[in-house]
């Protein structure tokens, strides 16, 4: 890599680094929420099954 390529890389990181970091942050947050939602749906299914048995 030639030192004249660095401004181009800095420009690319400047343009895409922030959106990529925000996307990763949101994916991590949504993943945690989806896991909680999956657990709640599973528990609800168990409750409904138990209500039908009674």
Rounded CA separation 17/13 (Å): 5
Distance between CA atoms of residues 48 and 50, nearest Å: 5
Q: How far, in Å, CA of 50 to CA of 47, rounded?
A: 5
Amino acid 40: pLDDT: 97
CA angle 11, 14, 17 (to 5 degrees): 130
**Tokens matching residue 24:** 């990763």
Q: 10-46: per-residue pLDDT in tens?
A: 787 778 888 888 888 899 899 999 999 999 999 999 9
């Amino acid at each position: 890599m030639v030192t004249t390529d660095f401004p181009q890389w800095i420009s690319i990181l400047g343009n895409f680094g922030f959106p990529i970091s925000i996307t990763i942050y949101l994916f991590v947050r949504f993943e945690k929420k989806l896991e909680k939602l999956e657990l709640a749906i599973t528990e609800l299914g168990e409750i409904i099954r138990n209500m039908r048995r009674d």
